[in-house]
Amino acid sequence: MEGGDSFLSCAVTLEWMTQGSITRKVNYKTASLRLIRNEFREMFMEITSEKHAAIRFALKSVNVFKKFMVEGKASIKFQEAGCTLFISNAPPTNLVGFLRTIFVKMTGDKDQGSNTTPAKQTMRSKLLSNKAQAFEEISPVTVADIHNAKKKIPKSTLTTPSPPAKKRKNEDSVKGPAPKKLYSPSPLTNTCSLNPEQQRVLDACLGGKNIFFTGSAGTGKSFLLKRIVTALPPDVTVATASTGVAACHVGGTTLHAFAGIGDGSGTLEHLCERAMKLPLVAQKWRKCKHLIIDEISMVDGSFFEKLEAVARHVRKNDKPFGGIQLILCGDFLQLPPVVDKGKNGKRFCFQSPCWDKCIQLCFELKQVHRQKDSEFISILNSIRIGRVTKEISDRLVGTSRQKIESDGILATRLCSHTNDSKMINDSKLSDLDGEEKIFTSQDSDNATKLLDMQTIAPSKLLLKVGAQVMLLKNVNVNAGLVNGARGVVVRFEEGFPVVRFKNKKEYTARTERWYVKNSNGSLLCRRQVPLNLAWAFSIHKSQGLTLDCVEMSLSKIFEAGQAYVALSRAQSLDTLRVLDFDSRHVWADPNVLEFYQRFRRRLQQMEVIPLGRPLSDKTNKKLKLREILEKQMKQR
């Protein structure tokens, strides 16, 4: 944990109650919560807001309700003060860290909440101490604090309920606060830390800059984007993506659903009028302060340009995108936007004049996480820019003879067309003997069509023993049961399929949940077993997946970047089979290559001192020396 976990910026409501009735209520749209200690080392929570005096509560006898932490909401009941603090619009990651800090500090504090000293004696010793009142921020949580808290978890409840009450205790409301729940790892505070290049992107986002970050396949763009989403206030942050599946990955909605202007066809005047006439659409635009767009590379330039103009019109603000902070992510060297044939206009976002006006900072992620083989990474980097040497061609042609199947698990065929993959799956399933099991999803009311578009989980799944399947969720990362893992159905138990994976582990696939947001911002849910047929998959639907047993035919490639996307799904050269590699199937769009040349020049220009000259080694040494001298002066 970091020292920053003792501070939280959020919206706050305070309610004081007497005999079940609210006697006083205070609302702060923007407030700061700070964990502090007084001169006697007692811990307090301080609540401050502009134009209001600070309010402090002793952290004793508190109840924490944290069921909605992922939405940036929680409540803390201060029993001694008879007041409940309602937290909302807090960045979820920060909220989890803040509550964990409270737990660790309260649990590890020997004196806090202790009943060994009578209250009068404690008060008397305070009065006789003659200490001046002083408050300071609590120290960051250390490893020793965590170990100390772990030892005391069984003893950490501040009141002891009767045995029956213990059994019935609501797990969402626990004393002290919620030791085991708050201590256990949370998806919001993922144990995988950000690397330095990812951290720079996050820092720029939190600094309010309009940014675009890119990177080759497998550099952790989606992982970073999820961290960014949870680090921003949820009430004013809109996470979107150009495709439904990508939107589901970031827990958001499609860009088209949020924008409220359909596919962008029609005049700009018509689109602005349309957005203004829809109250919910206009309200969303006005409320939004941070707009996140994943797979920006698949948004066509004309739509992006109209979107920017609509934002300015609806928000009545002449700044780019009406003053909204833009956080854009994507790789223009992967799949391009789908544009109607014969349609004139700017195909890529970067071809729009408003692109340079909107983007303040650019970043490129370079560290590849999906593949560990340096030879394969080098091949993919060349394929990405459309360059195929004889050595690369020979190496990929050689994979056609590889045997990558094992233990009855066949390679997934990646197809350039969706219809081809569906036909292969249906045919292979019908060839299997045995009883067919049908798994129908449980969907939110009247939302099946939308959930089909935005989730990778099918509404109807047909399975038999022997069916080739793919896992659609990270179930157990340590056991290798991750999104994209390949397996085969070996039997059915209690109505659920049991799958043996390539790593020989067996898993009973029980119902999982997928959440998406509709155009109104409401959460929709699909419950389904996390599997899909995997004899074949389309290249478009494979985007974002890592496959551990994959083959492909590239003869029907029809788009720039399509071959690169297909090849980069493979985990390694040893798990890949290319049936008909031909260098003519590999190319990159010249406009995109030119954009990335300008993009990298811009990155170099960002690495300059104010005078505009690159930092020389001599200048670097001078700056470091100056920093050291300044630190020494402060210490004196």
82 is in an annotated binding site: no
**Of 319, 311, 331, 318, nearest in space to 246 by CA:** 331
Q: Does residue 156 have a known ligand-binding role?
A: no
Q: Is 114 annotated as a binding residue?
A: no
Please enumerate in sequence order all residues whose Cβ is within 8 A of that of 452, keeping only pairs 6 or more positions apart, or say none.
458, 459
The Cα 201–Cα 347 span in angstroms is 26
Residue 10 has φ and ψ, to the nearest 5°, of -165, 180
- Look at residues 531, 511, 519 and name the one whose alpha carbon lies nearest to residue 456: 531
253 is in an annotated binding site: no
Q: 3-class SS at 339?
A: coil
Q: Which residues pair with 237 in a beta bridge?
A: 290
Written as one letter, the residue type at 575 is T
Do the beta carbons of residue 281 and residue 260 sit within 8 Å?
A: yes
Integer Cα distance of 73 and 67 in angstroms: 8
**Which two structure tokens, joined as six digits, stand for 82?**
């008879």
**Alpha carbon separation from 448 to 9, 205, 213, 421 (Å, rounded):** 37, 34, 33, 22
Backbone angles phi and psi of 30, in degrees to 5 = -130, 125
**3-state secondary structure at position 482:** coil
| Residues 498/465, Cβ–Cβ less than 8 Å | no
H helices of 58-172, in order, are: 92-108, 119-129, 143-152, 163-168
Nearest CA to 251 out of 243, 239, 262 is that of: 239
**DSSP code at position 235:** G
Whether 519 has a binding-site annotation, put simply, is no
Question: 125: annotated binding-site residue?
Answer: no
CA 413, 416, 421: angle at the middle one, nearest 5?
Answer: 50
* Cβ atoms within 10 Å, residue 597: 10
155 is in an annotated binding site: no
Q: Give dist(CA 209, CA 102) in Å, integer.
A: 31
User: Could you give the CA distance from residue 89 to residue 594 in angstroms, rounded to a whole number?
Assistant: 41
**Is 467 annotated as ligand-binding?**
no
Q: Which residues are annotated as a binding site for ATP?
A: 215-222
Q: Which residues are annotated as a binding site?
A: 215-222
